Amino acid sequence: MTNDYKIAKELLSLAGVTINGDNPWDMRVHDMRLFGRFFGGGSLGLGEAYMDGWWDCEQLDKFFFLILRAGLDEKVKFNWPLLWHAVVSRISNQQSRNKAFVIGEKHYDTGNDLFTAMLGKTMAYSCGYWPHAFNLDEAQEAKFDLICKKLNLKPGMRILDIGCGWGTFMKYAAAKYGVEAVGITVSKEQAELGRELCQGLPIEIKLQDYRSVNEKFDRIISIGMIEHVGYKNYRTYMEVAHRCLAENGMFLLHTIGKERSTTATDPWIAKYIFPNSHLPSIKQIGAAIEKLFVMEDWHNFGVDYDKTLMAWDANFEKAWQALKGKYGERFYRMWKYYLLSCAGAFRARNIQLWQIVLSKGGVVGGWKVLR
For residue range 196-253, what is the model confidence (pLDDT) as tens digits? 999 999 999 999 999 999 999 999 999 999 999 999 999 999 999 999 999 999 999 9
Nearest in space to 61 (alpha carbons), one of 267, 347, 350, 330: 347
Task: Tell me whether residue 86 is in a domain.
Answer: no
Residues forming beta bridges with residue 257, ordered by sequence position: 352
Range of the domain at 39: 3-78
Task: Please tell me whether residues 236 and 348 are part of one structural domain.
Answer: yes
Please determine, for residue 82, whether its predicted confidence score (pLDDT) is greater than 50. Answer: no
Task: Please tell me whether residues 38 and 151 are part of one structural domain.
Answer: no
Task: Please tell me whether residues 204 and 66 are part of one structural domain.
Answer: no
How many other CB atoms are found less than 10 A from the CB of residue 286? 13
Q: What is the DSSP string of 202-226?
A: SEEEEE--GGG----EEEEEEES-G
Is the CB of residue 159 less than 8 Å from the CB of residue 181? yes
Domain boundary among 43, 78, 113: 78
Question: Across the beta sheet with 294-300, what order do the strands follow?
Answer: 203-207, 180-185, 158-162, 217-223, 245-257, 352-359, 294-300
Please determine, for residue 96, whether its predicted confidence score (pLDDT) is greater than 60. Answer: no
H-assigned helices in 120-233: 136-150, 168-177, 188-197
Nearest in space to 83 (alpha carbons), one of 263, 248, 334: 263
DSSP β-ladder status, 55-56 and 28-29: antiparallel
What percent of the chain is modeled with pLDDT above 90?
84
Task: Please tell me whether residues 8 and 104 are part of one structural domain.
Answer: no
Is the CB of residue 8 less than 8 Å from the CB of residue 20? no
Is the CB of residue 297 less than 8 Å from the CB of residue 150? yes
Please determine, for residue 80, whether its predicted confidence score (pLDDT) is greater than 60. Answer: no
236-258 CB burial, b ≥16 within 10 A, e <16: ebbebbbebbeeebbbbbbbbbb
Task: Please tell me whether residues 115 and 201 are part of one structural domain.
Answer: yes
Q: What is the DSSP string of 29-41?
A: ES-TTHHHHHHHH
Please determine, for residue 339, whether its predicted confidence score (pLDDT) is greater than 70. Answer: yes
- Give me the active site residues, please: 342
Task: Please tell me whether residues 192 and 65 are part of one structural domain.
Answer: no
Q: What is the pLDDT of residue 41?
A: 87
Task: Please tell me whether residues 143 and 70 are part of one structural domain.
Answer: no
Q: What is the pLDDT of residue 94?
A: 52
254 vs 76, residue with greater confidence:
254
What percent of the chain is modeled with pLDDT above 70?
91
Largest CA distance in the chain: 69
How many other CB atoms are found less than 10 A from the CB of residue 85? 21
Task: Tell me whether residue 132 is in a domain.
Answer: yes
Q: What is the DSSP string of 286-311?
A: HHHHTTT-EEEEEEE-THHHHHHHHH
Q: What is the pLDDT of residue 3?
A: 87
Is the CB of residue 56 less than 8 Å from the CB of residue 30? yes
Distance CA 154, CA 170 (A): 13
CATH number at residue 340: 3.40.50.150
Q: What is the pLDDT of residue 86?
A: 43
Is the CB of residue 310 less than 8 Å from the CB of residue 343? yes
Task: Tell me whether residue 31 is in a domain.
Answer: yes
Estimate to the nearest angstrom the gap between the alpha carbon of 168 and the chain centroid.
17
Average pLDDT in the chain: 92
What's the domain count of the chain? 2
Dihedral pair phi/psi, residue 254, rounded to 5°: -115, 115
Task: Please tell me whether residues 235 and 353 are part of one structural domain.
Answer: yes
Q: What is the DSSP string of 245-276?
A: EEEEEEEEEEEEEBSS--S---HHHHHHT-TT
Contacts 24+ apart (CB under 8 A), 203-207: 203/167, 203/170, 203/171, 203/174, 205/164, 205/167, 205/170, 206/182
Task: Please tell me whether residues 179 and 229 are part of one structural domain.
Answer: yes
